[in-house]
Each structure stands twice: as C-alpha cells, then as structure tokens.
Amino acid sequence: MTTLAFLGLGAMGDPMAAHLARYAAANGLTAHVWNRTDSKAQAHARTHGSRAVTLETAAGADVIFTCLPTSAEVNEVLSVMEPHLKSGAVWVDCTSGHPQAAPAQRERLAARGVTLLDAPVSGGTAGAQAGALTVMVGGPAEALEAVRPHLAFAGKVVHVGQSGAGFAVKAVNNALLGVTLWATGEGLAVLARAGVDLGAALDVINASSGRSNASQNLIGQRVLTREFPATFALGLLAKDAGIAADLTGEVRGSAPLLAQTAALLRAAERVVGADEDHTAALKLIEQMNDVELK
Ligand code: NDP
C-alpha cells in the first residue's frame, strides 16, 4: 500500500497535511505525519485521522513531504532518515528552500534511490487551508507526474525546470512581495506625513496603477487595522529575499533593488522581531518617518 508522510506541521504544513490525510483516507492510502514537537503530530492524528510516527518510520514512505523553515532543517531530518529511506521513493520538499542546497540533497537522496523534487508553495495559510496552493516544482518531470495525484493541497502545479528551479522561483516571488510591501509602506508613510488619510489613499492606489497584493490585501487588512496577524513570519520573508540576493550573486546577475530589499527586510527583522508577521516590517518605516500607518 502506498504510504505518504508529511514532516513539519507548522502554519503551512498542518493544513497541507490535513488535505493529504483526507485524500489518503478517500483513496485507501496511509498518511503518516511527523513534527519536531510531537504533541502537534498527535493532535493532527486525532483531528485528521493521520498517523503520528517517528522520523525513522516516516523515512519508509513512498512519498515524503517536508515543509520546514529552511533547507538547513531539511538537511537535519534528512541525516536522521537517510539510512531508513525506501528506494524508489520521491521526496517532495515544500520548504521555501535554497537553490544552492538542492544539488547536495539530490545526490544524498539519489544514493538511496530516492528522487528529490523541490516544490515550494505560495498562497499563504489561507491557501493551505483551502487546499488551493500554487506549487512550483523543480526536478525530473516523470517524478512530478508520479506524485501529482498526491498533491492534495494544490490548486495549481507548475513544473518550472530542473532541480533547484522551484526554490529559485519561490525566492524571486517573495522578493517581489518584499519590494511591493516595502515600497507601498514608504509611499504611505510619506502620505501620512503630508496629512493625507491613508484609507482614502489606499482606495485610490487600489483603483490605480500603483496597486499590488500588498496594497490590495496585506496593508489594508493587516497594517491599517494594526492587527498584524502572524501567519507568515517576517524572519521567513527576510530569509526568502536573502535567497534571491544570493541567487543574484551566484548567476552574476545585477538586481540592486532585490538586494536592497533583502537588506531592509533583514534590518526590519532585527528591529521588529523575526516572529512578527511579515507586514510588521512596515513598523520600521513608521519609526523612520515618525508616523503610524493607520
Ligand atoms: P512555521 O514556523 O509555522 O513552522 C515551522 C515548522 O518547522 C514547525 O513544524 C516546526 O516544528 C518545524 N521545525 C522548526 N525547526 C525545526 C528543526 N530544527 N527540526 C525539525 N523541525 C523543525 O513555518 P511555516 O509553516 O510558516 O513555513 C514553513 C515553510 O513554508 C517555510 O519555508 C516558509 O518560508 C514557507 N512558506 C510559508 C508561508 C506562510 O504563509 N506561512 C507561505 C508559503 C511558504 P515545531 O512545531 O516543533 O516548532
């Protein structure tokens, strides 16, 4: 019987694994879950009918999903699981990982007969709960076709190229999120200092050419309300923008705006806090301008 294992039941992984468990139950498959803090895995099993297992047991699955903070944590669990992996399995890494980590991971897994797909996701916790995530996949197309039916948390799946390409696209996507979030925050801070009502300004921007996801959704819902709900950590966005900056160096590209945004987000992470919601980066802009965006 095909066994699916999901490792990392965080803000994203928990609802993604819930979709996997439902899909497994409907198709006569087994869904294993593992989490560093075991109580979350036990709660997942109770709520969603998955089975909480050890890392060694999870390693025996036919398809292994990971959704951990960075490639460093993926390497940690890989080290424990390596001797127990099943030849012919596919490892689908949904972490927003680092393209430079992919080659070594791929080789370690290939030595055990396991194929790696980098498959980071976009759509936030709301997308994960709805099972409507966009998945950007790097690695062998045949391996993607083999696991495609199991991507129960996906709304859209795009094969973007060879191993590491998924991580690269995700890093650039999130760097663009950082650019628009930061730039819109700067613009609104200037308007606040000019005495303009920010609700009215955002209304105009969202019907004009300056609009973005940051202006249409994030800033209105999270910043102007002063709610900053922590669904995607500022530390993780700073990490992603940093990966895009690293990638620029690796390919000897020229992307000064992306590099600057990575540096600004890193500064905001230090000042505001890594665990705050990513939109709280704008609190640094508020300090720089002595205004509150509300
Ligand atoms: P969370 O911080 O909510 O969850 C992190 C998960 O990783 C938890 O299960 C945590 O376990 C586990 N973990 C942390 N450190 C280790 C370790 N050393 N060894 C094993 N497990 C560990 O993160 P998210 O779910 O928000 O993000 C996961 C990935 O998805 C990241 O790469 C992020 O960039 C990406 N992402 C996040 C989005 C979002 O909106 N949140 C959207 C799209 C992508 P424990 O419970 O024990 O702490």
Convert the pLDDT of each residue in 18-28 to its tens digit.
999 999 999 99
CATH topology of domain 3-162: Rossmann fold (3.40.50)
DSSP 139: S
Q: Is the ipTM of this complex over 0.95?
A: yes
Q: Kindly report the protein residue whose alpha carbon is nearest to atom 2 of ligand 1.
A: 10
CA–CA distance, 168 with 275 (Å, rounded to integer): 24
Q: Which residues 6+ apart lie within 8 Å of 134 measured at CB? A: 121, 122, 123, 127, 154, 155, 156, 157, 158
**Closest Cα to atom 17 of ligand 1:** 73
Atom of ligand 1 nearest to the CA of 97: 32
Q: State pLDDT tens for residues 31-89.
A: 999 999 999 999 999 999 999 999 999 999 999 999 999 999 999 999 999 999 999 99
Compute, in angstroms, the gap from residue 66 CA to the centroid of ligand 1. 9
Question: Among residues of the chain, what percentage have pLDDT more than 90?
Answer: 100
Q: What is the pTM of this model?
A: 0.98
Which CATH superfamily does the domain covering 168-289 fall into? N-(1-d-carboxylethyl)-l-norvaline Dehydrogenase; domain 2 (1.10.1040.10)
* pLDDT greater than 90 at residue 176: yes
pLDDT above 70 as % of the chain: 100
pLDDT digits (tens, 9 = 90+) for 119-153: 999 999 999 999 999 999 999 999 999 999 999 99
Whole-angstrom distance, CA of residue 160 vs CA of residue 158: 6
* 73, 170, 236, 237: residue to mutate for ligand 1 pocket, most atoms within 8 A of CB: 236
Ligand 1 neighbours, Cβ below 6 Å, are: 8-13, 35-37, 40, 67-69, 73, 76-77, 95-96, 121-122, 124-125, 231-232, 236
Reported confidence tier of residue 1, pLDDT bands at 50, 70, 90: confident
Kindly list the domain boundaries of the chain, sorted by start residue: 3-162, 168-289
